[in-house]
Amino acid sequence: MKIGFIGAGKMASAIIKGVKAKSFTVVLSERDSKASLTVANRLGVAAAQSHQELIDEVDIIVLGVKPQMVETVLAHLNINKPLISMVAGVSLERLSQVTQPTLPLIRIMPNLNAQILKSTTAICRNQYVSDQLMATAKTITDSFGTTFELPEQDFDTFTALAGSSPAYIYLFIEALAKAGVKHGLNKKQALEIVTQTVLASSQNLLTGTDSPNDLIDKISSPGGTTIAGLLDLEKSGFTASLVSSIDATIAKAKEL
């Protein structure tokens, strides 16, 4: 099966790595043919001369341009192949308005962990996507991580919790490491300590039966260090501040 990527920036490049490993054939088309060739050579895939040439030769198209480029890029193309869009905030309805009303359309929301084939990806479809095509789309998304089928109405929330949240998690890691430096550790060591702890804490949740609150209670000895730190964290509104940042992310996704 041949997959054609229109727009191959950071996210599509990460995805292409997984897709290639699953033996799909990949061709891409970028802003212009020179850019296509440069990116294709870097990723070890083929470059198309134009978006239309790509559409004509592939089985499935993957759209990886920025939200504000969608109408400009799709408007003058004759699209007669199923389209998978990774574009944040752009609905199936909006995609069908710029392609054609009965085109099979799939929306996915990956995250940058696709770089290590561990993306958490949401997927949904319109009514013109057969079960077989959906299964193929899931084979594609499973090639670069884990797939969650969600109703489209939950995509903006998913975008915040999984698409954008790695940035918030990196900020959290960076802040903890800075605290380590403040108290005398060198930065490299502090980052390594914090990163390993975050990784193992996630694995503990995924592999065990304890909820986050169960684990918090287990770590917080009466009168101990952790409860002192936890209460201080909430004094500065940690939970409220995080929820507020998710609200802002969802609001922005709805504006795109």
58, 109, 123, 124: which one contacts ligand NAP (CB under 6 A)?
A: 109
Told to check if 84 binds ligand NAP by CB under 6 A, we report no
Total residues contacting ligand NAP (rule CB under 6 A)? Answer: 24
- The tokens for 254 are 């709805």
Q: Rank residues 143 and 180 by Cβ distance to ligand NAP and give the closer one.
A: 143
Rounded to the nearest whole angstrom, what is the least distance from the CB of residue 174 to ligand NAP in the complex? 17
Burial of 33 (0-12, 13-18, 19+ CB in 10 A): middle
Told to check if 118 binds ligand NAP by CB under 6 A, we report no
Q: Rank residues 111 and 136 by Cβ distance to ligand NAP and give the closer one.
A: 111
Residue of 204, 199, 120 lying closest to 159 (CA atoms): 120
Residue 147: beta bridge partners?
A: 121
Bridging pattern class, strands 119-125 and 105-109: antiparallel
Told to check if 66 binds ligand NAP by CB under 6 A, we report yes
Interface segment toward ligand NAP; rule CB under 6 A; list 2-10, 76-84, 184-192, 240-248:
2-10
Residues near 243 by beta carbon (within 8 Å), at least 6 away in sequence: none
Specify whether the CB–CB gap between 137 and 84 falls below 8 A: yes
Site residues (vs ligand NAP, CB under 6 A): 6-12, 30-31, 35, 64-67, 69, 73, 86-88, 109-112, 163
